[in-house]
Amino acid sequence: MDNFGFYLDARGDSGCRGGDDVSLIERLSVYADCEQEVQRYKWIESEKAGHDLGEVAIRRWVKEHWWGYLRARWLEHLQGRRFWVELDRGDFGLLQREFHDDSLLLDRILDRLKDGQENLDIILWAHAWNIPIDSVLSILEALDINSRRLAYRFDA
């Protein structure tokens, strides 16, 4: 499958909740930053192979690393550490504005998301540890991870 199943609803400039002024923050592009990562990966893999791997290396990076790369950028955006223009402006710094009463639970959920776990994995973990499911679902619904996916753009 050419796009490796990665897609994203980039909602773009939807307005900022909570009165945050993101105009003062450096705006970064997921795609521009990603391109640097891809080129680094392609160079390293080509050096190992002894010849230029070209698009094969790029497609391999997408298949093996795109989702984890994108998730890390999304979490930076939610934490208010970096503003990524392709991601929802209203989500920037969301974690600084919400969940103050559940900060430990939020940290544990974020750890699992960073490790690549999905909503169901987190719900099963909460159930196994007798964690109040209402709090877990509240955090997962606010994060809305399944609507935060971007497609990797291949150059034509």
pLDDT per residue over 111-145, tens digit each?
999 998 999 999 999 999 999 999 999 999 999 88
CB distance 116 to 71 below 8 Å = yes
Burial of 122 (0-12, 13-18, 19+ CB in 10 A): buried
What is the CB neighbour count within 10 angstroms for residue 72? 12
pLDDT value at residue 124: 98
Residue 59 within any structural domain of the chain: yes
Residue 3 within any structural domain of the chain: no
Residue 138 within any structural domain of the chain: yes
Q: Which residues of the chain have pLDDT under 70?
A: 1-23, 154-156
pLDDT value at residue 17: 42
Residue 60 within any structural domain of the chain: yes
pLDDT value at residue 23: 65
Strand partners, 83: 27
Residues in the chain: 156
- Give the domain extent around 63: 17-147
CB distance 60 to 45 below 8 Å = yes
pLDDT value at residue 21: 59
pLDDT value at residue 153: 72
pLDDT value at residue 42: 97
pLDDT value at residue 32: 94
pLDDT value at residue 146: 78
Residue 94 within any structural domain of the chain: yes
Residue 153 within any structural domain of the chain: no
Residue 37 within any structural domain of the chain: yes
pLDDT value at residue 154: 63
* Identity of the residue numbered 28: L
Residue 89 within any structural domain of the chain: yes
Closest CA to 132 of 109, 98, 100: 109
pLDDT value at residue 14: 35
Task: Indicate the number of domains in the chain.
Answer: 1
**Separation between Cα atoms, residue 70 and residue 62, nearest integer Å:** 10
